[in-house]
A and B are shown apart, each in its own frame.
Chain A
Amino acid sequence: MHLGDMTEEARRWRRAALVLLLIAGLGGLAGQTVGAAQPAEQSVPDGFVPMDDVPPEEQLPAAPLLAAAYIVVWVLAIGYLWTIWRRLGSVEKELAEALRRVGETDGA
């Protein structure tokens, strides 16, 4: 394995991660600016109180929840990619070490 490639790869990973974070932030902002359009009426499943009967102050604001949902998706995706990257890094380090030892025993 080529150590030079690894740092190149690491740089690419970091760039991708930063870009994704930036987009997550922009997405969140976009969600917020859409406005606080409240639902006109709610579907009523059995056993639940219709939300229209609850005064608007007690209803949950939709926009932050929407943003939270999108941010969660991005955090999970990026987080998982990051764990792969971390594990890959340690395996490649061990691989380089093992290859070095193979080279030594071959040379000896």
Chain B
Amino acid sequence: MNRRLFPWLIGLSLVFFVVAPILIVRAPLEQEMGLIQKIFYFHFSAWMAMYLSICVLGISSAQFLFRRKPAADRLAVSAAEAALVFGLMGLITGPIWAVKSWGVWWNWDARTTIALILELILVAYLLLRSYGGPGSDRLAAGLGMFAMANLPFLYISTNIWRTIHPPTSVVPTLPVDFGIPLWWSFAGFIVLCLALLTARVRLEEQRATLDRLYLALEDE
């Protein structure tokens, strides 16, 4: 199933990414920040893709922990890697935007800090899976659920803590000219996320098949 789905997904995301720069270039210049604000379309979309991946990680971790479905475990590790990649995109594009717009690379405001923390949790998850030895898939599933439980604190923090980031309500009120390239990029990133997940799950499935084959060979 994945082999047929992946080319469509990657092709679709290609379409989104080809058209996106055109839409972004045509979008109006934001009054206060000017040209550099255009990073927003990819920066915001990358974070949304990361949130989606973390939700997938949390839910599939729960499925694996409580229902013991091996497919859920494969999806969980794929979602963790995808979240790491999108998080990196956000953590790199953010400071590039910040250095121009605020004059500093990093300022420890609430949202950027917790985004960094989430990235650390994902690295910890992947380290556990690599070096935890047998049984680490279930332990990692527990950790995955904790990662997802941390998400609401990221969202709430922007509204309660003093922060340089715009409050979360700014996105729904964007004027249409800004909205179109934003939602286009957002859709592109979501499709890319699905494509990456599909490819990565495929890798896990092949590994599982290989393990089964080796076991079968040992039995003979």
Within 8 Å by CB, do A and B touch in the complex? yes
Which A residues form the contact surface with B (CB < 8 A)? 12, 16, 19-20, 23, 26-27, 30-31, 34, 36-43, 45, 48-49, 51, 60, 62-63, 65-66, 68-70, 72-74, 76-77, 80-81, 84-85, 87-88, 91-92, 94-95, 98-99, 101-102, 105
Name B181-217 residues within 8 Å CB distance of A. Answer: 192, 196, 199-200, 202-203, 206-207, 209-210, 213-214, 216-217
Q: Tell whether, in the assembled complex, residue B32 and residue A43 are in contact, meaning their CB atoms are under 8 Å apart.
A: yes
Q: Tell whether, in the assembled complex, residue B200 and residue A95 are in contact, meaning their CB atoms are under 8 Å apart.
A: no
A70 vs B18: C-alpha distance when bound (angstroms)? 12
A49 vs B213: C-alpha distance when bound (angstroms)? 64
A81 vs B57: C-alpha distance when bound (angstroms)? 19
Whose C-beta in chain B lies nearest to the C-beta of A23? B18
Q: With A69-B43, A69-B93, A81-B10 given, can you name 15 additional A-B contacts, CB distance below 8 Å?
A: A12-B7, A20-B14, A23-B14, A23-B21, A30-B21, A31-B21, A39-B33, A39-B36, A66-B35, A72-B89, A87-B203, A88-B206, A98-B214, A98-B217, A101-B217
**Does more than half of chain A's interface fall in helix, strand or loop, or is it mixed?**
helix
Q: Tell whether, in the assembled complex, residue A63 and residue B35 are in contact, meaning their CB atoms are under 8 Å apart.
A: yes
- For the complex of A and B, the 10 pairs showing the least CB-CB separation, nearest first, are A39-B34, A62-B35, A27-B21, A98-B213, A62-B36, A69-B93, A45-B164, A69-B39, A69-B96, A91-B206
A70 vs B93: C-alpha distance when bound (angstroms)? 8
A19 vs B81: C-alpha distance when bound (angstroms)? 24
Name B69-109 residues within 8 Å CB distance of A. Answer: 81-82, 85, 88-89, 92-93, 96-97, 99-104, 107
